[in-house]
Amino acid sequence: MTQEIHVLTADQEQEFLQDLQKMMRVESVKSSPKEHAPYGEGPREALTLVTQIGKQYGFKTGIVDDAAAYVQWGNDDEHYIGIFGHLDVVPAGSHWTTAPFELSKQDQRFYGRGILDNKGPSMACLYGMKLLKDMGIKLSHTIRLVFGSDEENGSADMKRYLAKKPAPVYGFTPDCKYPAVYGERGIVNYAIETPILPADLQMFDILNPEEQASDHVPDSVIAMINQEKINIVGKRSPSNAPELGKNALTLLAKKIDDNQLLSGQLMNYFHWLAGLHDQHYGQKLGVEFEDADSGKLIMTPYQLEKNANGLKLSIAIRYPVSITEEQVTQGIKQHILPDSKVQIVRSMPGVMHNKQADWIKRISEVYEQVTGLDGTPVTTTGATYARVVPNIIAFGPSFPGQKGIAHKQDEYMDEKDLLTNMEIYMKAILVLGKRKDD
């Protein structure tokens, strides 16, 4: 069966890419809510499109509360194996060398916003399920592919879905990495507000605040310092992999600190902020936690804002599964400037599953069979639907060593990796969809 699946995915690649291209062209970025489109017209268009494709493949389809779509193989609506992907994407941003909302190919590599996160893998699951059905495969359990439209902005879509539909018996989301991910770290974002005297504050401003967001390490900061414009260029990376980037905010702070460009309270502030440069593991904030399952805590500043009373720095933290949010908060409060206030602006507790569960073992074995790589389950710094959908874990699509690709310009996925994902997901559907005695 493994060889048959391998040959089939290669033979059917062009047909798959035609449907994937349709989805890549949908600019499914969150925007203002409309009637029947709670996350904007683009995400809703993606849901409509995937149900149309699913119907063409011969599957049962539906849209749930305008928030998620499903494509189902089987008739049991109450007890199903769930695969939860998402069709919404982050904004394209700037500095692309290819058209962000096209499926482009160069040197055996596909480019486009969402090719990795998460349209490519989600559509690979759908097309792979079609291929299995076309082969005449019969499953003992219903498989339901669920396609979300708000994963990039908090996964409110899954709350709406679960209010209307039962949770899966078990399953996975193809939106993280391999091998199987049995645990996800806790996430907490803080806003640290520091008062600055108006006379000092007027010496500084940020001119391009729109370049900063919680999903990535800021790579561009244009500041006005004593009527002089300073342009700092860093390197963008996902906020859960800050070591792969160069943080423009802390680079700005170092420039100010090293050259004494300011004075008074502002100088003290940027001396403190400069101390956070390249301190990706919370060393200067009293939160240098780690454990055997997760490794080290990860921290990055991602936004600096000026208001009438001072400066507000936002930082993103992914903390080990054995650590509590309260421990992180106490550490932060003890290592900020005097009179500063700390506010939690995002909070997502960690999640853990039993890595010895039979179904996790089965998909881990599939990964090993297809790739020849070690399938020992792992944990992640990422945040996936596995935090809000019961009984699922993350499984793929990135292979070991692949990190920091999503949310950047020229998002990519190698052709061979996309097809290998389809093979893995087809075999995962088979092993989860059949009883042991089948």
pLDDT of 249 higher than 60 = yes
- Residue 436's pLDDT is 64
Domains and CATH numbers, the chain: 2-183+352-433 (3.40.630.10), 186-348 (3.30.70.360)
- Residue 437's pLDDT is 58
Burial call 165-184: b when 16+ CB within 10 Å, e when fewer: beebbbbbbbbbbbbbbbbb
CA 41, chain centre distance (Å): 21
Sequence-ordered list of residues with C-beta below 8 angstroms from that of 193, at least 6 positions apart, any chain: 309, 310, 311, 312, 340, 341, 343
- Closest by CA to 54, choosing from 146, 139, 158, is 146
CA distance linking residue 213 with residue 151, whole number of Å: 16
What are the start-end ranges of the H helices in 152-283? 156-164, 198-201, 248-259, 264-274
Sole residue written with tokens 């916003």: 113
- Residue 153's pLDDT is 93
On average, the pLDDT of the chain sits at: 95
CB 129 within 8 A of CB 54: no
R_g over Cα of the chain: 23
Beta strand 341-348 with 412-414 is unpaired
Distances from the Cα of 218 to the Cαs of 250, 319, 424, in angstroms? 9, 21, 35
Question: What would the pLDDT profile of 3-21 be if each residue is shown by its tens digit?
Answer: 889 989 999 999 999 999 9
Residue 106, SS3 per DSSP: strand
Distances from the Cα of 135 to the Cαs of 5, 71, 138, 344, in angstroms? 10, 18, 9, 51
CB atoms within 10 A of CB 417: 21
Environment class of 342 (CB within 10 Å of its CB; exposed 0-12, middle 13-18, buried 19+): middle
User: Could you tell me what percent of the chain has a pLDDT over 90?
Assistant: 90
pTM (two decimals): 0.80
pLDDT of 23 higher than 60 = yes
What are the start-end ranges of the H helices in 39-147? 41-56, 119-134
DSSP 135: T
DSSP 65: T
Question: What would the pLDDT profile of 275-327 be if each residue is shown by its tens digit?
Answer: 999 999 999 999 999 998 889 999 999 999 999 999 999 999 999 988 999 99
Q: 379: alpha, beta or left, given left = phi > 0 and alpha = psi -120 to 50?
A: beta
CA distance linking residue 315 with residue 194, whole number of Å: 14
Taking the chain, what is the end-to-end CA distance rounded to the nearest angstrom?
15
Environment class of 378 (CB within 10 Å of its CB; exposed 0-12, middle 13-18, buried 19+): buried
Largest CA distance in the chain: 77
